[in-house]
Amino acid sequence: MTFQLVSDSAPPTGTDSGPKATAERHRSLRARRRRNTPITRAGFDMLRLYRTNLEVRLRCIDESSLQTESQKRTYESLAEFLDPHKEKAATETEAAWDDAYRAERMIEMLLSGIQLRQEIAARLDELAFEQPVEAQRFRVQFDAIAKASSDTNSAADDTVLRGLLLRIMERLHWHAKKRYLCRPIRKQATKNILYCMLFAFALAILPYVAIWLDFHGGRELSTYWTLFALYTALVSGLLGAFFSRLLTIQRDWNGMSLDEVFLHREFSYSLLRAGVGVCGALVMFFFFKSGLINGAIFPKFEDMAMEWINTANNSMSFVVPSKDLALVTVWCFLAGFSESLVPSILSSTERQMSDGAGPGKAASPGQAAG
């Protein structure tokens, strides 16, 4: 098995001064500039520490304990690969980390006896920190192998345990690789959602700016304000949907599969969730208007307005939504935020209508969600 480090040294220029050599020098300069950034430098330092730890672990293995010729050849290859005197300046790249992970797996295949069993127990604890379900599944297999092991055929038992340890290491390295791949994707997905939230927030406060401009100078309000209630409901649902997406990315990112991670990077996926939130807010808006749900915590359309509030000494005045307009905003925000609120209301209403219940007995959003 051959291991190769990626070198960051500039390629020799020699006597070649053609376009190909010039392009190669430019790529080398750009790579060096990228390596000088703090993030890249930190990754490079972590890689060097990782390789140093692997070297120490390899030196802790007694060569006389190696059982097969294959293990001896593997030990020699690893010793050459991890030799610090032969190591050139490595870059913090995917290939360099993949080589380090591969070397670590090969080191694990050199263990035997009690050292092998201790390593499996330690790796299971490490996996349990990230994936408890996977760790428990491997632990059951480890206990079964340990119970079935015999003192007369320890070499065969070690071979089976090495296969189990290899699968555990593959899962650990997969999750480490996934974190590396997901890091820029999460950054891009969060940036997209933040842009969408800022856009929805601007739409939400736009009427308050417009009413000040429209009312300035004592003029009457324009006729387009007749759509203000519907506009508020739709924008509130849009803002709630984007806020829900942002929380999902920050809260559930580590538990997502790789396909879900790449899906969250797509801007069209965010728009799809926004469309669901706007539709939910629209349904909630018409539910309020139809009178199917009513009560003290639900808005009355005839009382929705923008109110002017004056201070006690009349030195300052400002505009705020009325109580019922604020209730519409809150409920439509919840309709966009929660993916289950509106479907639960629709299901409850459909069930009651099927049972012959009157419209006035339809469940409230709180009852339907419960």
Has residue 32 been placed in a domain?
Answer: yes
pLDDT tens profile 227-255: 888 999 999 999 999 999 888 888 888 77
pLDDT tens profile 259-305: 888 888 888 888 888 999 999 999 999 988 887 777 788 888 888 87
Q: Tell me, yes or no, whether 175 and 190 share the same domain.
A: no
d(CA 368, CA 155): 62
Residue type, 46: M
pLDDT tens profile 182-217: 888 888 888 888 999 999 999 998 888 877 776 655
Supply φ then ψ for residue 156, to 5 degrees: -65, -40
Average pLDDT of the chain to the nearest whole number: 80
Higher pLDDT: 240 or 87? It is: 240
**C-alpha torsion 98→101→105→111, nearest 10:** 150
Residue 224 burial by Cβ neighbours in a 10 Å radius (0-12, 13-18, 19+): exposed
Q: Among 119, 148, 181, where does a domain finish?
A: 181
Q: Among 181, 212, 237, where does a domain finish?
A: 181
Has residue 89 been placed in a domain?
Answer: yes
Q: Tell me, yes or no, whether 162 and 196 share the same domain.
A: no
Q: Which domain holds residue 173?
A: 19-181
Has residue 252 been placed in a domain?
Answer: yes
Q: Tell me, yes or no, whether 174 and 190 share the same domain.
A: no
Q: Tell me, yes or no, whether 24 and 128 share the same domain.
A: yes
Has residue 11 been placed in a domain?
Answer: no
**C-alpha torsion 121→125→127→133, nearest 10:** 100
Is 233:285 a contact under the CB 8 Å cutoff?
yes
Has residue 5 been placed in a domain?
Answer: no
d(CA 208, CA 36): 48
Q: Tell me, yes or no, whether 310 and 206 share the same domain.
A: yes
Is 285:230 a contact under the CB 8 Å cutoff?
yes
Q: Tell me, yes or no, whether 149 and 239 share the same domain.
A: no
Q: Among 166, 181, 196, where does a domain finish?
A: 181
The pLDDT value recorded for residue 152 is 60
Has residue 7 been placed in a domain?
Answer: no
d(CA 170, CA 178): 12
Name beta bridge partners: 319.
308
Task: Please give the model's pTM, rounded to 2 decimal places.
Answer: 0.66
The pLDDT value recorded for residue 9 is 42
Q: Tell me, yes or no, whether 134 and 66 share the same domain.
A: yes
Q: Tell me, yes or no, whether 45 and 162 share the same domain.
A: yes
Q: Tell me, yes or no, whether 154 and 204 share the same domain.
A: no
Q: Tell me, yes or no, whether 159 and 216 share the same domain.
A: no
Q: Tell me, yes or no, whether 80 and 101 share the same domain.
A: yes
The pLDDT value recorded for residue 102 is 92
Residue 120 burial by Cβ neighbours in a 10 Å radius (0-12, 13-18, 19+): buried
Has residue 10 been placed in a domain?
Answer: no
> How many separate domains does the chain show?
2
The pLDDT value recorded for residue 25 is 62
Q: Tell me, yes or no, whether 53 and 189 share the same domain.
A: no
